[in-house]
Amino acid sequence: MPPETKEPKRTSIGLKIENFTKSYDSVEVLRNVSLDVQPGEIFVIMGPSGSGKSVLLKHVAGLEIPTNGRIMIDGKDIAHPKTRSQLHMALVFQAGALFNSMSVFDNLALFPREHRLYDKKVLNEKVMTALQTLSLEDAAGKFPSQLSGGMRKRVAIARALVMEPEWILYDEPTSELDPTMGATITEIIADLREEFGVTSLVVSHDRDLALTIADRVAILMHGDLLELDTPENIKKSENPKVKDFLNPVIDIKNPRFKRKD
């Protein structure tokens, strides 16, 4: 699915997470999580900080090995190097993880250059198309340190796009952004699915993002999968923990801290 074709092209492979457990030094951060992501879907994993969402995403990206359970893609174990090498999957990191010593152009060009995918002319076209898709054409010569937070996120998404992935994993794509930029990034995620058929697995605690663009939402809390359903059904959930998470009550009449006179 080359960026310039604009032809919706759904991925044909699904992701299945089975009885996934992760422990660090005998502390279980995720317990028996099972879920599946359908091709072409926008699947959002929500949960408060420390619930294990980013840990799960790192495993899907192949950066860590599960303590127990399996992550299967197209019926193959994702941890296997051969499966990984055949996988067209890109990860958009929370802080961008851009290469600070390279310009924006070189950040985008690194993947196709290293894999010798195109000649110089085609590579330039691909990179510039990805930058244009994210309205970043003026930033090609800049370095990551010269970019705002929102631009860094967009560059990270553009870098993922150059990889022509079937899957894009997003780690907190709207964190640390103002509401307008957060909305822009949310729209971009939805557009990428519509335009290129990219399957998106998004980890976020952004309620607006999840309930606006997700096909399905999973709620993780303290390492357990509490709920997995469509955004409409999640909104109607009777689970008190889910209700509290989605509709936090701000009580300013009963302050937690009182000055002692």
Partner 1 sequence: MKQINKLLEHFGSAVILCLRSFAYLPSLPLQWRRLIEQCYLIGYTTFPIVAILSFFIGSVLALQAGYSLAPVAAQDFIGSLVGLSLARELAPVMTAILVAGRVGSAIAAELATMKVYQEVDALVTMNIPPERILVMPRLVAILIMMPVLTVVANLIGWIGGAIVAQNVDFIQLDTRIYFQGIQNFVKFRDILDGLIKAEIFGFVTILVACNVGLRTTGGPREIGGSVTRAVVISLILILVLDYFVTSALMNI
Stretch that binds partner 1, among 61-69, 72-80, 182-190, 212-220 (CB under 8 A): 61-69
Contact (Cβ atoms closer than 8 angstroms) between residue 71 and residue 77: yes
Closer Cβ to partner 1, 163 or 228, answer by number: 163
In whole angstroms, give the CA distance from residue 75 to residue 84.
13
Nearer to partner 1, 57 or 242 (CB): 57
Give yes or no for residue 110 binding partner 1 (CB under 8 A). yes
By beta-carbon proximity to partner 1, the closer residue of 144 and 225 is: 144
**Binds partner 1 (CB under 8 A): choice among 14, 48, 62, 149:** 62
Verify binding: residue 222, partner 1, rule CB under 8 A. Answer: no
Task: Output the smallest distance, CB 108 to partner 1, in A.
Answer: 11
Q: What angle do CA 229, 233, 234 make, to 5 degrees?
A: 70
Residue 71 near partner 1 by CB under 8 A: no
Token representation of residue 49: 């900080």
Q: In angstroms, give the least distance from the CB of 244 to partner 1.
A: 31
Burial class (CB in 10 A: 0-12, 13-18, 19+), 85: exposed
Between residue 113 and residue 142, which ones bind partner 1 under the rule CB under 8 A?
A: 114-116
Residue 19: count other Cβ atoms within 10 Å of its Cβ: 12
As a whole number of angstroms, the distance between CA 119 and CA 134 comes to 23
**By the 8 A CB rule, do 217 and 206 touch?**
no
Total number of residues binding partner 1 (CB under 8 A)? 21
DSSP conformational letter for 111: H
Strands, DSSP E only, in the chain?
Answer: 15-24, 27-37, 42-46, 68-73, 76-77, 89-92, 167-171, 199-204, 216-221, 224-229
Residue nearer to partner 1 on the CB measure, 96 or 225:
96
Nearer residue to partner 1 within complex by CB, 34 or 101: 101
The amino acid at residue 177 is L
Cβ at position 182, least distance to partner 1 in Å: 21
Using the minimum distance from each CB to partner 1, give the nearer residue, 99 or 118: 99
Percent helix, strand, coil in the chain, to 5, is: 40, 25, 40
List 5, 12, 19, 100, residue binding partner 1 (CB under 8 A): 100
x/- letters, 80..99, toward partner 1 (CB under 8 A): ----xx---xxx-x-x-xxx
79 versus 183: smaller Cβ distance to partner 1: 79
Instruction: Please report, as ranges, the residues that interact with partner 1 according to CB under 8 A.
Output: 58, 61-63, 84-85, 89-91, 93, 95, 97-100, 110-111, 114-116, 163
